Amino acid sequence: MPKEIFEVKLNQDLVYQVAVSQMANRRQVLANTKGRGEVSGGGKKPWRQKGTGRARVGSIRSPLWRGGGITFGPTKERNFKKKINKKMKKTALFMILSAKAKDNNLTVLEELKIEKAKTKIMAGIFKNLPGSGKNILLVLPKLEKDVILASRNLPGIRTVEARNLNSLDLLSFKRLIMPKETIRVIKETFASKR
């Protein structure tokens, strides 16, 4: 186990900052309302300015009118993105991996190969592993379609490629399972560019 990945001292503030930024960057802006300029209609002045005895009005799409624009509603222009440095992301990733190894929540397999993409086979493999059950993140060294297909129907188990590993995924799952080859890929992808 490389020390630069699995023996990094935990800094909870840094891990929290990275997790919050990743959650914010995944957030979708769904709530959206139309202002008076976006609502259809209202091009013509409803009645003349003077002489009717009614209040002066310029458009039927005024926010005061039913069917008019919304004054201070949410719009799609909102931006929740938070920038975080690459070095901070990598350090947080290594801190979480170190914490998982320290708390015995990391299982390293010699290799993970299955003949057929069968969920039953994958369930049997997970059953024999220590601390088996749900809430498992399986980190693969490369794209292995059979393993992904076999494990995607199991509840509480998620597969991810080592190159796409991030802090938020690691924090979302209690147990971490990876083949030996994955450690080499993590070292090449993240540790070498530090």
Helix intervals (H) in the chain: 3-6, 12-26, 86-102, 119-128, 145-151, 167-172, 180-189
Nearest 5°: the CA angle 110, 119, 189 is: 45
Q: E strand or H helix at 108, and its extent?
A: strand 106-109
Structure tokens at 139: 């980190």
Tens digit of each residue's pLDDT (9 = 90 or more) over 122-161: 888 888 877 666 788 888 888 888 888 888 888 888 899 9
7 has pLDDT over 50: yes
Select the more confidently predicted residue: 130 or 54: 54
The pLDDT of residue 129: 79
27 has pLDDT over 60: yes
The domains of the chain are located at 85-193
Tens digit of each residue's pLDDT (9 = 90 or more) over 101-129: 888 888 888 888 888 888 888 888 888 87
Rounded CA-CA distance 18/46 in Å is: 54
Rounded CA-CA distance 176/137 in Å is: 5
The pLDDT of residue 194: 47
The model's pTM is 0.78
178 has pLDDT over 60: yes
According to the CATH classification, is domain 85-193 in 3.40.1370.10? yes
